[in-house]
């Protein structure tokens, strides 16, 4: 009896430690990020850091304005959203409502497969196929542009958007559909006026999570957006995103230098953006239940 109780006790405590550990690590990461990142504000003010137009971290004195990087991330993300949201939601409607059972299975498997491709591989494929194509179609000096990044990232956001939106559509009560049909609605009228509004919060959550995936993506964007830290004037010029900046420069930044602190501060900005997006998506998902 006693042995069994001791065993129970030990197992319970072990599981407790596992639970605490995950929170503890998050806290540690956050503290470290804050400690290293906030140091940059001893050198530049938050407004000139976020609003500064030039990013020359190793000039003397360094200019640490990340506005070009924020805009770079924004334009690539916006482009990816414009491409992936209509296609993703359309695909979800097709899978949930229209596709015959067999095609449905094939499509779902295909989309899961798309999610399984490592981003560096996608980036590599994009570099040798998409980039020359963009260059030729728009007669540009280089195909390494925000548009190329947007198209590539749209592919990465698609699996998230499709699977969550499809789930939302699938969980609309069957009775809604029958009610609309019984009034003489066509299939499309039913989808447009009943199914989509009923699933809207789930679909919005799907879109937010897809966008979250795009903002955090690093490898593929770094490979195909051209990495030039200037304020983009159009979608057809090279840009550099927040994530790519950290990945590209962390190796050469001297530990404890202004450059090093600035990169961590970019990390904080990214963290805040992703966090905001996840919370919004969560709110939408919550509303659904």
Partner 1 sequence: MVNAAFDIKGLNIWFGQIHALKEVDMDIRPNEILSIIGPSNSGKTTFLRMLNRLNDLHINFRMKGRVMFGRSDINKMDIETLRRKIGMVFALPLPLPLSIFENVAYGVRMHGEKNKNRIAAKVEDALKRGYLWEEVKDRLGESAFKLSGGQQQRLCIARTLAVEPEVILFDEPCSGLDPISTAKVEDAMLKLKEKYTIVLVTNNVKQAARVGDRTAFFLSGELIELDKTDKMFTVPRDKRTDDYISGKFG
Which residues contact residue 263 at a Cβ distance below 8 angstroms, ignoring those fewer than 6 apart?
A: 245, 246, 249, 250, 253
Q: How far is CA 169 from CA 91, 96, 189, 207, in A?
A: 11, 6, 15, 14
Minimum distance from residue 286 beta carbon to partner 1 (Å)? 17
Binding mask 101-140 for partner 1 (x = CB under 8 A): x---------------------------------------
Q: Helices (DSSP H) in the chain: which residue ranges?
A: 2-38, 46-51, 67-93, 101-116, 119-125, 131-138, 146-170, 174-182, 187-190, 196-198, 200-216, 219-224, 242-249, 258-288
Instruction: Indicate whether 289 belongs to the interface with partner 1 (CB under 8 A).
Output: no
**Strand, helix or coil for residue 63:** strand
CB of 18 or CB of 182, closer to partner 1: 182
One of 50, 181, 227, 230 touching partner 1 (CB under 8 A): 181
One of 45, 136, 171, 189 touching partner 1 (CB under 8 A): 189
**CA torsion angle 258 266 117 284 (round to 10):** 170
**Strand, helix or coil for residue 146:** helix
Minimum distance from residue 193 beta carbon to partner 1 (Å)? 7
One of 94, 170, 176, 271 touching partner 1 (CB under 8 A): 176
Check: CB of residue 215 under 8 Å from CB of residue 273.
yes
Binding mask 64-103 for partner 1 (x = CB under 8 A): -------------------------------------x--
Instruction: Indicate whether 161 belongs to the interface with partner 1 (CB under 8 A).
Output: no
Minimum distance from residue 35 beta carbon to partner 1 (Å)? 48
Size of the site for partner 1 (CB under 8 A): 18
**CA torsion angle 62 67 73 79 (round to 10):** -140
Tell me whether the omega of the peptide bond preceding residue 185 falls within 30 degrees of 0, making it cis. no
Q: Which helix (H) or strand (E) holds 56?
A: strand 55-56
First to last CA, the chain: 44
CB of 140 or CB of 185, closer to partner 1: 185
Instruction: Indicate whether 170 belongs to the interface with partner 1 (CB under 8 A).
Output: no
CB of 141 or CB of 184, closer to partner 1: 184
* Half-sphere exposure at residue 179, Cβ-oriented, CA atoms within 13 angstroms: 8
One of 45, 136, 171, 186 touching partner 1 (CB under 8 A): 186
Instruction: Indicate whether 182 belongs to the interface with partner 1 (CB under 8 A).
Output: yes
Minimum distance from residue 102 beta carbon to partner 1 (Å)? 12
Minimum distance from residue 180 beta carbon to partner 1 (Å)? 7
One of 19, 46, 197, 256 touching partner 1 (CB under 8 A): 197
Q: How far is CA 153 from CA 104, 116, 139, 239, in A?
A: 24, 14, 22, 14
**Only segment of 89-97, 162-170, 182-190, 280-288 that touches partner 1 (CB under 8 A):** 182-190
CB of 197 or CB of 256, closer to partner 1: 197
Question: Which parts of this chain interact with partner 1 (CB under 8 A)?
Answer: 101, 175-186, 189, 193-194, 197-198
């Amino acid at each position: 009896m006693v042995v069994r109780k001791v065993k129970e006790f030990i197992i319970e405590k072990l599981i407790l430690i596992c639970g605490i550990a995950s929170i503890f690590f998050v806290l540690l990461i956050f503290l470290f990020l804050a400690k290293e990142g906030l140091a940059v504000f001893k050198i530049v003010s938050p407004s000139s850091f976020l609003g500064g137009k030039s990013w020359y971290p190793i000039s003397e004195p360094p200019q640490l304005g990340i506005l070009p990087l924020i805009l770079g991330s924004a334009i690539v993300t916006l482009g990816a959203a414009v491409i992936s949201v209509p296609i993703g939601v359309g695909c979800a409607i097709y899978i949930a409502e229209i596709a015959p059972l067999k095609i449905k299975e094939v499509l779902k498997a295909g989309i899961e497969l798309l999610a399984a491709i490592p981003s560096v591989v996608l980036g590599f494929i994009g570099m040798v196929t998409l980039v020359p194509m963009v260059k030729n179609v728009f007669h540009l000096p280089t195909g390494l542009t925000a548009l190329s990044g947007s198209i590539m990232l749209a592919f990465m956001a698609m699996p998230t958007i499709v699977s969550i939106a499809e789930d939302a559509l699938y969980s609309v009560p069957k009775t809604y559909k029958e009610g609309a049909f019984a009034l003489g609605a066509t299939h499309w009228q039913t989808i447009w006026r009943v199914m989509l509004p009923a699933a809207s919060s789930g679909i919005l959550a799907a879109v937010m999570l897809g966008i979250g995936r795009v903002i955090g993506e690093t490898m593929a964007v770094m490979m195909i957006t051209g990495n030039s830290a200037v304020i983009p004037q159009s979608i057809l010029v090279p840009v550099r995103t927040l994530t790519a900046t950290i990945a590209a420069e962390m190796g050469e930044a001297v530990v404890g230098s202004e450059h090093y602190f600035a990169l961590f501060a970019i990390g904080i900005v990214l963290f805040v953006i992703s966090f905001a997006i996840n919370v919004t998506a969560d709110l939408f998902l919550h509303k659904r239940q």
